[in-house]
A = this chain, B = another copy of it.
Amino acid sequence: MTNAPSHRPAPTIRLVAREAGVSQATVSRAFSQPELLTPATVEKVLGTARRLGYVPNQVARALSTGRAGNIALILPDVANPFFSALMRGAQAQAYKRGYATFLGDSDETAHLEDVLLGKLAAQVDGFVLASPRLDEPLIRKHAARKPVVVINRDLEGIGRVLVDTGPGFTAAVALLAGLGHRAIAYVGAPRSSWSSQQRARAVAAAGAAHGLSVVQIDAGRPSHEAGRDCVAALMEAGVTAALAVDDVVAQGIMAGLAERGLSVPGDFSVVGCDDIIAATTYPPLTSVNARCAIAGANAVDLLLNGFATPAPPTASHVITGELVIRGSTGPAPAQAPARTPARAPAQTIRASRRPSAKARAPAEPDPSSRK
């Protein structure tokens, strides 16, 4: 396995030095510490460097200095809108501060997280671990080797960014109470993630404060389908509003309601969380904004700022999500929607170029959501 030799090798510092008539050290300084050189020297070196198309080799630099100039972002699923937004914020911030970003998708597994952390360790100066699935001892093991900042996991002594959506959910319950709802549901994730737990608690507490009856429903792995599937349970419970662990599930709930001929917010109110896709549904979702992009950027800042200090990052940074009220919440209906049977789901047919259309399951995975 040879690297395609047809690609000419990049010019090195030695060539630039020779062409400019200076030493390698001078070329190096022209790039990394120009203030140590005469402006004329810097100009001369940079000029010939540009002419030759020279760019400092980051790999050699990393080996020499011990600093890679890279970070890695490890997350459970890049296709999930929450993580996409987070990634966008993190990558942009890292770039702005001169760092390149490795992307590691753990496919929701703790094992892959562990492997990725190990493989990338030598090439990065630190990690941002979003909603890690890894158990605490392993996270701490990796954090002992390289600086680590986690997002949405509260680990004492490890740098972390926590998105506090509790107040947003509290506000959402208050909104529903004000609209006359008396029985509501929280639709959450299974082995409660830190985020889902937090949201469930906020709903329970606020519900009690307003004298509402609150049922908790476990949707399983949060996905559009999971949301749709739990609509039966919502009808059974006799509630008139649901707060979901995230927008994907909320959107699924809206689809399930529509299949039963129920309208939102006329017959039922729905609240989501994250506020990434919430503005694009119809009706647009009332949702708790999780400031995903900001969380990603803050995590990168926390990590990079830590490089300048002797101790690893250990601070915890809390971001508060606010409620954004849109069109999926309205006055409580006169009575809870009847247990309407679902209509047959809309047909899905995959047509090829050939006239014969054949029914098949879509190959692309559902954009699902677990945080």
**Which one of A92, A118, A294, A363 has the highest number of Cβ atoms from chain B below 10 Å of its Cβ?**
A363
Name the B residues within 8 Å of A251 (CB-CB).
280
Q: Is A119 an interface residue (CB 8 A)?
A: yes
Name the B residues within 8 Å of A363 (CB-CB).
289, 291, 294
Name the B residues within 8 Å of A259 (CB-CB).
282
Verify B1–A118 contact, CB threshold 8 A.
no
Verify A84–B91 contact, CB threshold 8 A.
no
Say whether, besides A7-B146, A79-B88, A293-B364, A284 and B348 are in contact (CB < 8 Å): yes
Interface bits A61-80 vs B (CB < 8 Å: 1, else 0): 01100111010010001110
Q: Is A137 an interface residue (CB 8 A)?
A: no
Secondary structure at the A interface, as helix, strand, loop or mixed, is: mixed
Return the contact of A107 from the options B4, B92, B367 (Cβ within 8 A): B92
Q: Is A353 an interface residue (CB 8 A)?
A: yes
Minimum Cβ distance to chain B for residue A55 (Å): 6
Name the B residues within 8 Å of A67 (CB-CB).
1, 3
Can you name the residue of chain B whose Cβ is closest to the Cβ of A123? B58
Can you name the residue of chain B whose Cβ is closest to the Cβ of A83? B84
Q: Which of A285-336 contact B (CB under 8 A)?
A: 289, 291-294, 306-312, 320, 322-327
Q: How many copies does the complex hold?
A: 2
Name the B residues within 8 Å of A87 (CB-CB).
78-79, 103
Minimum Cβ distance to chain B for residue A332 (Å): 18
Name the B residues within 8 Å of A311 (CB-CB).
4, 6
Can you name the residue of chain B whose Cβ is closest to the Cβ of A349? B325
Name the B residues within 8 Å of A123 (CB-CB).
58-59, 70, 100
Stretch at the interface among A39-47, A235-243, A271-279: A271-279
Minimum Cβ distance to chain B for residue A123 (Å): 5
Can you name the residue of chain B whose Cβ is closest to the Cβ of A275? B364
Stretch at the interface among A128-136, A167-175, A209-217: A167-175
Q: Is A110 an interface residue (CB 8 A)?
A: no
Q: Is A102 an interface residue (CB 8 A)?
A: yes
Minimum Cβ distance to chain B for residue A270 (Å): 12
The 8 listed contacts between A and B (C-beta, < 8 Å) are A4-B312, A7-B147, A78-B88, A78-B91, A81-B81, A276-B364, A289-B362, A326-B347
Contacts A3-B307, A56-B122, A259-B282 aside, 18 further interface pairs with beta carbons under 8 A come to: A2-B307, A6-B311, A7-B312, A55-B119, A81-B367, A92-B107, A95-B116, A102-B102, A171-B351, A276-B364, A279-B366, A284-B346, A289-B350, A294-B363, A323-B351, A324-B349, A325-B347, A325-B350
Closest 3 CB pairs of A and B: A327-B346, A103-B103, A325-B349
